[in-house]
Amino acid sequence: MTCFQINGGAALDGDVKCQGSKNASLPMLAACILTKDETALYNAPALTDVEAALDILRYLGAKVKREDGALIVDAAGIGKNDVPDALMREMRSSVIFLGPLLARTGRAVLSAPGGCEIGLRPIDLHLEAVSRLGAVVKNEGGKIVCTAPKGLAGAEIPLSFPSVGATENAMLAAVLAKGETRILNAAREPEIADLAALLNAMGAHIRGAGESTICIDGVNTLAGAVHTVLPDRIWGATLLTAGAITKGRVCVKGLSPAHLVPVLDVLERAGCEIRRGKNEITVSAPRRLHSVRTVRTTPYPGFPTDAQPPVTALLSTARGVSVIMETVFESRFRYVGELTRFGASIRTDGGFAVVEGVPRLYGAEVSAPDLRGGAALTLAALCAEGESTVREARHIDRGYEDLAASLRALGADVRRCRAESATAI
């Protein structure tokens, strides 16, 4: 089991280039199924979740390679239309293959992705979306079997919640459907617009991505394309927050401030100085942060739920009391118990966390419960006095390309190690 060994106290200082977006890369890899040509994705991050998506593509019959910084997918040989249970469990967002498999083969067989560390993660909105397009959805022995014997037909898809994944699945299914599709109450995250940019480069006709209503005129075929994945705003938020919690100065290059408005607002309200460049963001922290009355997570363009754990860790060292309201996932405070091992004073009740800032944190042995919770614990260890160990770093590797190396480049004393031996690897 890998872990991070951290000797806290260093104020981070430096510039770092933003990683490519995990949450844009995953639906884009699924989109490669929609054509028999080659598709090339630049700036796709090297993450275990991306590797899991590549494993699924290979299982389905695609050829995948990394060449000159690009992920190249040749989906001509797609011959299967089921995602095995083991691969579904490896990455619950594998549900994103539902739409493109239906569109390409007329059939998709998935096992229920199951919950994960941050909530039940139902997929009812995904299934409702493809049903609206004419798919027949059945549960056969624990497997979800979706078929579209007569192909998919454009339809109106009203989403009861602006689900990112359901919006993406609807888009991926509708681009080859006959006729027009309108997705209402669509998710507005930047990753949605980036997926539409790839699909339109492949020959799709999508309008309104990034807004609440997305219109898609179905086409008969799609071609390959070359696309550069947009920067990962949550990775950027995490590194900026690392600069703030260590009372340092961090500049994230290659990321637009427009993608992080609510997060930068909270950092400023906590006392940080933020410099917004055209395509870079710099945070400089004060000697002591002050609390922020409330932070409430909502779908984009609100405060992103994925930035909640790192910002909660930051506010645990601020002067005063902050209230965090998590409205998107029902179990996104599981990391808080581990955070209190550093000396943080936080009480949670359902979707609320009351954070009473403390003047300092102390080194501790903790275990990452999930991806963003693990990032939060790592940030707390960076400012804690003394040695800390963050176990189960595998969760962190799902969404951050070698986070320890990125932090070391900014002056942090952090090493990746094997928990059994606690020796650096």
Residues with a known catalytic role:
116
Amino acid at 207: R
Question: Based on CB atoms, which residue is closest to ligand EPZ, 82 or 191?
Answer: 191
Q: What gap in Å lies between CA 165 and CA 284, rounded to an integer? A: 35
Residue, CB closest to ligand EPZ: 165
Nearest to 245, CA basis, from 379, 368, 336:
379
Closer Cβ to ligand EPZ, 249 or 259, answer by number: 259
C-beta of 9: minimal distance to ligand EPZ in Å?
28
3-state class of 64 per DSSP?
strand
| Whether residue 149 has a cis bond before it, omega within 30° of 0 | no
Backbone angles phi, psi at 125, to 5 degrees: -70, -35
CA proximity to 169, closest of 238, 110, 249? 110
Minimum separation from the CB atom of position 232 to ligand EPZ (A) = 9
Phi-psi label, residue 190: left if phi above 0, alpha if psi -120 to 50, beta otherwise: alpha
Cβ proximity to ligand EPZ, 289 vs 375, nearer residue = 375
Closer of 20 and 363 to ligand EPZ (Cβ) = 20
From the list 230, 308, 293, the residue with the least C-alpha distance to 263 is 308
Residue 5 or 406: which CB sits closer to ligand EPZ? 406
Smallest gap, in angstroms, from Cβ of residue 283 to ligand EPZ? 21
**Residue numbers of the site for ligand EPZ (CB under 6 A)?**
22-23, 26, 93, 119, 121-126, 161, 163-166, 187, 305-306, 328-329, 371-372, 399
> What is the nearest approach in angstroms of ligand EPZ to the Cβ of residue 191?
6
8 Å CB contact between 147 and 120: no
Of 343 and 399, nearer to ligand EPZ (C-beta) is 399
Report H helices in 76-139. Answer: 85-90, 98-105, 124-132
Shortest Cβ 218–ligand EPZ spacing (Å): 23
DSSP 144-208: EEEE-TT--B--EEE-SS--HHHHHHHHHHHTTSBSEEEEES----HHHHHHHHHHHHTT-EEE-
The CA-CA-CA angle for residues 215, 217, 222, to 5°, reads 120
Quote the least distance from Cβ 122 to ligand EPZ, whole Å. Answer: 4
Minimal distance, residue 256 CB to ligand EPZ, in Å? 18
CA–CA separation, 158 and 234 (whole Å): 28
Least Å distance, CB 375 to ligand EPZ, is: 9
What are the helix and strand counts (H, E) for the chain? 14, 25
Q: How far is CA 151 from CA 20, 144, 177, 409, in A?
A: 34, 18, 7, 51
Two structure tokens written together for 77: 């040989």
Rounded to an integer, what is the distance from CA 406 to the centroid of its chain?
Answer: 18
CA torsion sign, 277 to 282 to 286 to 292? positive
Closest to ligand EPZ by CB, 100 or 224: 100
